[in-house]
């Protein structure tokens, strides 16, 4: 893999909270103009990982390398220039805007933090340009967040994200607060923007339809660990890990109808985090003694297809 092509690379990143290892030795890389999907249920550490990349959380061990420069232990003052290159789009746009500010004021506030965008005329010109790109009328600039619909507000949040011309945008469940009929509008818009601006995305979502449409490669996480990593096409055509299969089935995306249902029993329990072997073993119907006792590493089963499961090839 060409190292220089990577926008960001994470090597063995670990983040612990009291009693809980939220992200356990995760390595990943995102190339320029690529969309990486991060899938998993709540509590699997996907949002924590996103926040670690933005340095909203400090990592405990491992490395984060941005275009060849390690950024994980930079003090805040030196990290500042990177902030505009790495942006985040949050899940619920209603809570990511100040309810007392107009949309214009919220975006202005954000621009004022940025050295390149201090001149007032320049800012307004830029806002209008980006508003046009995401398909919002300029009328809404004077509106307060509660006067807008979810779709409009998510577009406005996107304006705020794009205005500093980022290279990498972390999308944390960008559509989960939106209605089904609106979801497609935002996802298609994100794809258009990627084409125009050549940005990279890390999209965090539990919605596999969204991931299937937008992502080029997908990582599946379970309790802080990556359990499967491959291209989107391979993941949806031939998933190996039982957890991935269960997710596809739950989303009614499973192609093979005859396959045995109910791959997983019960639900995520925090005690599973302390297991030595596979963390899914207590819920997995295929689990054997070895799954509980021995730790499996991510193994390359096929070209570009990494899976963490002892029985991946048999089942």
Partner 1 sequence: MALLKIEDLKLDIENSNQNSHILHGVNLLINKRDRLGLVGESGSGKTMTMRTVIQLLPKKTKIISGKVIYQNQNLLQKTEEEMEKIRGREISVIFQDATSALNPVYPIGKQISDIYLRHKGRDKKKALEETVNILRRVGFPKPSESVKAFPHELSGGMCQRAIIAMALMCSPKLLIADEPTTGLDVTIQNQVIDLILDVIKGKDVAFVFISHDIGMVTKACSKVAVMYAGHIVETCTAQRILKKPLHPYTKGLVRCYKTIIGKRMVYIRGSAPELIKTISGCPFEPRCDVAMDICKRQKPKSIQVEKEHWVTCHKWNN
- Per the document, the length of the chain is 315
Find the binder of partner 1 among 3, 137, 146, 181 (CB under 8 A): 181
Considering beta carbons, is residue 184 or 277 the nearer one to partner 1? 184
Find the binder of partner 1 among 13, 187, 220, 221 (CB under 8 A): 187
Pick the stretch among 52-60, 126-134, 187-195, 288-296 that binds partner 1 (CB under 8 A): 187-195
Other CB atoms within a 10 A radius of the CB of residue 313 amount to 10
Find the binder of partner 1 among 25, 33, 194, 213 (CB under 8 A): 213
The least distance separating partner 1 from the CB of residue 249, rounded to whole angstroms, comes to 8
Residue 87, Cβ density class (10 Å: 0-12 exposed, 13-18 middle, ≥19 buried): buried
- Interface with partner 1 includes 180 (CB under 8 A)? yes
- Interface with partner 1 includes 149 (CB under 8 A)? yes
How far is residue 195's CA from residue 197's CA, in Å, rounded to a whole number? 6
Please say whether the beta carbons of 306 and 228 come within 8 A: yes
The least distance separating partner 1 from the CB of residue 175, rounded to whole angstroms, comes to 9
The least distance separating partner 1 from the CB of residue 82, rounded to whole angstroms, comes to 31
Find the binder of partner 1 among 92, 143, 185, 296 (CB under 8 A): 185
- Interface with partner 1 includes 210 (CB under 8 A)? yes
- Interface with partner 1 includes 150 (CB under 8 A)? yes
Residues 6+ apart with CB under 8 A from 227: 220, 221, 241, 243, 244, 280, 307, 308, 309
Find the binder of partner 1 among 16, 41, 165, 299 (CB under 8 A): 41
How far is residue 207's CA from residue 195's CA, in Å, rounded to a whole number? 22
Pick the stretch among 5-13, 96-104, 121-129, 181-189 that binds partner 1 (CB under 8 A): 181-189
Considering beta carbons, is residue 62 or 282 the nearer one to partner 1? 282
Q: How far, CA to CA in Å, does 311 sit from each of 39, 67, 128, 242, 308?
A: 21, 37, 55, 9, 9
Considering beta carbons, is residue 107 or 210 the nearer one to partner 1? 210
How far is residue 75's CA from residue 192's CA, in Å, rounded to a whole number? 35
Specify the pairing of strand 305-307 against strand 200-205.
unpaired
Residue 212, Cβ density class (10 Å: 0-12 exposed, 13-18 middle, ≥19 buried): middle
Considering beta carbons, is residue 81 or 135 the nearer one to partner 1? 135
The least distance separating partner 1 from the CB of residue 269, rounded to whole angstroms, comes to 7
- What secondary structure letter does DSSP report for 137? -
Nearest 5 degrees, angle CA 107-CA 112-CA 117?
95
Residues that bind partner 1 (CB under 8 A): 41-42, 149-152, 179-185, 187-188, 191, 206, 209-210, 212-213, 246-247, 250-253, 264, 267-269
């Amino acid at each position: 893999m060409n190292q220089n092509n990577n926008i960001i690379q994470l090597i063995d990143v670990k983040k612990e909270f009291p009693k809980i290892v939220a992200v356990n030795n995760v390595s990943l890389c995102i190339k320029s103009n690529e969309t990486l999907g991060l899938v998993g249920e709540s509590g699997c550490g996907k949002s924590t990982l996103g926040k670690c990349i933005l340095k909203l959380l400090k990592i405990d061990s491992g490395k984060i390398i941005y275009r060849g420069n390690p950024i994980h232990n930079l003090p805040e003052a030196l990290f500042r220039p990177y902030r505009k290159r790495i942006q985040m789009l949050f899940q619920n746009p209603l809570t990511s805007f100040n309810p007392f500010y107009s949309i214009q004021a919220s975006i202005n506030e954000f621009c004022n933090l940025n050295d390149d965008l201090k001149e007032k005329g320049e800012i307004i010109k830029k806002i209008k340009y980006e508003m046009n790109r995401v398909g919002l009328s300029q009328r809404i600039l004077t509106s307060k967040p509660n006067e807008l619909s979810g779709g409009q507000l998510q577009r406005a949040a996107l304006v705020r994200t794009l205005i500093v011309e980022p290279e990498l945008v972390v999308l944390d469940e960008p559509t989960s607060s939106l209605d089904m009929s609106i979801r497609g509008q935002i996802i298609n818009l994100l794809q258009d923007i990627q084409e125009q601006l050549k940005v990279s995305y890390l999209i965090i979502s539990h919605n596999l339809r969204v991931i299937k449409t937008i992502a080029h490669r997908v990582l599946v996480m379970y309790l802080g660990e990556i359990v499967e990593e491959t291209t989107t096409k391979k993941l949806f055509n031939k998933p190996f890990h039982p957890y991935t299969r269960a997710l596809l089935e739950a989303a009614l995306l499973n192609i093979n109808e005859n396959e045995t249902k109910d791959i997983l029993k019960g639900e995520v329990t925090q005690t599973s985090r302390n297991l030595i072997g596979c963390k899914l073993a207590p819920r997995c119907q295929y689990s054997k003694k070895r799954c509980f006792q021995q730790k499996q590493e991510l193994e390359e089963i096929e070209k570009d297809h990494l899976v963490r499961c002892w029985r991946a090839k048999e089942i």
